[in-house]
Amino acid sequence: MEVEINVPDEVPVMTLPNLAFFPQALLPLHIFEARYRRMLADVLESNRIFAVAGLDTHAGAPAEEPPHRVACIGLVRACQKNENGTSNLLLQGLCRVSIEQIVAEDPYRRIKIRALSSEPGAEPGENARLRKELTRLIRLKLRLSPGGSEGMTDLLKGVEDPEVFADIAAFNLCDDPPLKQKLLETLDVNRRLLMLLYLLRGEIDAAMLHKKLQGGLADDQITSN
């Protein structure tokens, strides 16, 4: 999907563990650290944009907070400041970016970035077919594993663009942080859709096996089977 976004050369960044943020996704955040309070105040006075990067635990000591090199910038859509100085905000993903350089650490981290564009990777009809198949699998997974987000299923049903569909589905339905980061780093939309298909098929197979082994017993009685 081609959307004109004015991507700054430098932005503040939050580096967070076990998190990959995606374009179009909505991320609620609770801001409480002093550095991020300062960051948020400055962002709200300017373009309301900052990046969220996942913590790369293999790149250095955790105390150094090394970020994954592919992240996502977002726009603060709503922000509520609390009486104790903390804030709750809603960040909407704008686009993937490559972190080219960390340019400052104080009073908060700032990074130099480069916007990344996705490529279709296949004919439009093929990606549309995969999007339709993903919709079917998501519904099937929801039937096999009650308690899933029906609201998310309804939201995805209305998303026609395969790229947007893949990003929203990856952000909301993938619970594996390394795989989620890999999906973020995958610029080929067709490959991204296929990765989600393999993920969902594996989860559906596991859920079907669980039900077969469980028989007619409730979840808390499965050990009696």
pLDDT digits (tens, 9 = 90+) for 29-68: 999 999 999 999 999 999 999 999 999 988 766 668 999 9
Longest dimension (CA), the chain: 61
Nearest C-alpha neighbor of 68 from the set 48, 53, 47: 53
Asked if 52 and 65 touch (Cβ cutoff 8 Å), the reply is no
Tell whether 97 and 153 lie within a shared domain.
Answer: no
Q: What is the pLDDT of residue 28?
A: 97
Nearest C-alpha neighbor of 100 from the set 13, 171, 21, 170: 13
Asked if 131 and 170 touch (Cβ cutoff 8 Å), the reply is no
The model's pLDDT over 90-115, given as tens digits with 9 standing for 90+, comes to: 999 999 999 999 999 999 999 999 99
Q: What is the pLDDT of residue 223?
A: 47
Number of domains in the chain: 2
Residue 149 pLDDT > 70: no
Tell whether 39 and 76 lie within a shared domain.
Answer: yes
More confident residue, 151 or 82: 82
C-alpha to C-alpha distance for 71 and 14, rounded to whole angstroms = 10
C-alpha to C-alpha distance for 174 and 13, rounded to whole angstroms = 23
Tell whether 88 and 154 lie within a shared domain.
Answer: no
Tell whether 142 and 69 lie within a shared domain.
Answer: no
Residue 171 pLDDT > 90: yes
Instruction: Spell out the alpha helix ranges (H) of the chain.
Output: 34-44, 124-144, 150-157, 162-173, 177-185, 189-214
Tell whether 17 and 39 lie within a shared domain.
Answer: yes
Q: What is the pLDDT of residue 222?
A: 46
- For the chain, give the mean pLDDT: 89
Q: Which residues form the domain of 48?
A: 10-115
